[in-house]
Structure 1
Amino acid sequence: MDKKELRKQIKALKNQYSLEQKIEMSRPLWEELERKAIFQDARTVLLYWSMDDEVFTHDYVCKWAGEKTVLLPCVKGDVLELRVFTGMESLQPGEAFGILEPVGELYTDYDAIDLIVVPGVAFDHRGNRLGRGRGYYDKILKETRVARKVGICFGFQLVEEVPVDELDVRMDLVISGK
């Protein structure tokens, strides 16, 4: 199955669930991540502010910001910039997808990032990830050589095989509840 067809298939599966169901389905995934040493040992974590069709992050971004340095991506043109999340009051709608993004100083110390939690359309057991097709995360993942990379998805997003190319970056771990 090619990338376009897999995106279409996963979108149809996501549409079977309400936002409330997806929020409820997200809770055990984050609890699993919290039990992992790679999360417990991490001081600086790159998360994401979820869209309605992704594993829900809002509560966890706020919770962990009191314990760790939490970074969120901001879409600027065709790249992701990173900024520190300092609280709900620091968020404003971004230029792409209508996602809330933090304002403030640009974060550029990529070698200080310990953990990156990455959303995706689909993942496979080898850690391959299918994104939305714009390459935002692949670019930043290549620049963060030290950070551990964790994909997070609902169980139905974990597939037998994700088609990959030379630009795709493999995850160190995928949390799917499966």
Structure 2
Amino acid sequence: MKERKKELRKQIASEKTKYSASLLKALSDEILTRLEAQPAFKEAQTILLYHSMKDEVHTHSFIEKWSKRKTIILPVVVGDVLELRHYTGTEDLKPGAYGIAEPTGELFTDYETIDFAVIPGVAFDLSGHRLGHGKGYYDKLLPKLATAVKAGICFPFQVVEEVPTEPFDILMDIIITK
């Protein structure tokens, strides 16, 4: 299982190198337009997003746009877990683990009030399975988001026929791509 996951991560990383930064940005815009068209997203008041790394669906301006209308929560890496914090604006972001900008806002622990969770991943399949980077951060967080609609967002080349899964893996409710 570990070897299959490692191989799939390598395959996706290789595929990403075929895309320019500008093409990934354009794809991101299309994916996020599809995301905001989702009825569950439109109805949601509290949304978990993520501040993207350069090779993920670009969420920076999307976070800023929606923070004016909805409560935005972002993850912060603390040891081997993700803490959640309120996003209050770009001025409250600081470089965190893995070079990802992380919010310094108020700690958020009211998980059941999260209506919609946007989840990154290395790969997804159409059954809703997700492959992460292998650190287990989201594996620990997702069980706390039982009432949220969980949306995996990714570039088209990150959708594969089958993601190797384990019993603890939590399915995404929807996969959004171009």
Per the normalisation by structure 2, the TM-score is 0.97
CA distance in 1 between counterparts of 2:155 and 2:167 reads 25
- Which residue matches 1:154? 155
Q: Deviations over 1:55-103 (max 9, x none)?
A: 1100100000001000000000000000011110010001x21100000
- Which residue matches 1:128? 129
CA distance in 1 between counterparts of 2:57 and 2:106 reads 27
> Which 5+ residue runs of structure 2 have no aligned equivalent?
none
Percent identity (aligned): 54
1:157 is displaced (CA, Å) by 0.5
Check the 8 A contact 2:35/2:41 in 1, yes or no.
Answer: yes
Query: Would you say how many aligned residue pairs link Structure 1 and Structure 2?
Result: 176
Trace 1:1-178 onto structure 2 (pairs within 5 A).
2-94=4-96, 96-177=97-178
Matched residue SS, 1:97? helix
- The one-letter code matched in structure 2 to 1:77 is G
1:167 is displaced (CA, Å) by 2.1
> Which 5+ residue runs of structure 1 have no aligned equivalent?
none
1:104 is displaced (CA, Å) by 2.4
Matched residue SS, 1:59? helix
| Runs of 4 or more above 6 Å deviation | none
CA distance in 1 between counterparts of 2:106 and 2:63 reads 18
Check the 8 A contact 2:88/2:105 in 1, yes or no.
Answer: no
CA distance in 2 between counterparts of 1:46 and 1:83 reads 9
Cα RMSD, aligned residues only? 0.9
Per the normalisation by structure 1, the TM-score is 0.97
- The one-letter code matched in structure 2 to 1:72 is L
Task: Name whichever of 11-20 and 60-69 sits farther off.
Answer: 11-20
